[in-house]
Structure 1
């Protein structure tokens, strides 16, 4: 399943394969990683995590902006964490990967990373 994801992503991005098999790439300033696991025999799942922004101004109400739909998309769950330097925002999406060919996989992955990039642009006032 990670092989299909890699083939799909390499159409759009430079992809690095980490020692653990995870795929890393960047899209519009957003750092992304795809990891695979088999929850149960015959149920392969991919998890896409996008680091949308980090160290955002702590004086800005980032949690409310995210809750009100910053970068609103149909795929992925945003998370806002208060770090030492400010707000950090991630977007995660996990899905069953069985039966997806590289075209369908690419479409799904790009929908998620495009949402993450839109959210980043809204939160940082730029790409």
Structure 2
């Protein structure tokens, strides 16, 4: 049995990589500006191109592992129930995957910066 894909942990690691690769000074970083930048960064959310994985089967695997997170994002008003159901029925798993990455992004940024400050 494979381990469930953890969006929070994986997006946080992508944020850490982005910060390190771009030599961002975390002591001077504007979190809102960083959030806006990463919102469309394919290596973090996939929202720039519409895909993080560039692999529908991999996205489906990640999404299928995280129905509770999808429900949470819908309950929080971040994702639309009807649109998400349409994506699911149309096998648009990459759209759901990107939405989940954007949903956890702010927390991932906070966690990454906290980790770097320690």
Asked whether the two chains share a fold, i.e. TM above 0.5, the reply is no
Normalized per residue, the structure richer in helix is 2
**Greater relative contact order (CA < 8 Å, ≥ 6 in sequence):** 2
What TM-score do the two structures reach when normalised by structure 1? 0.30
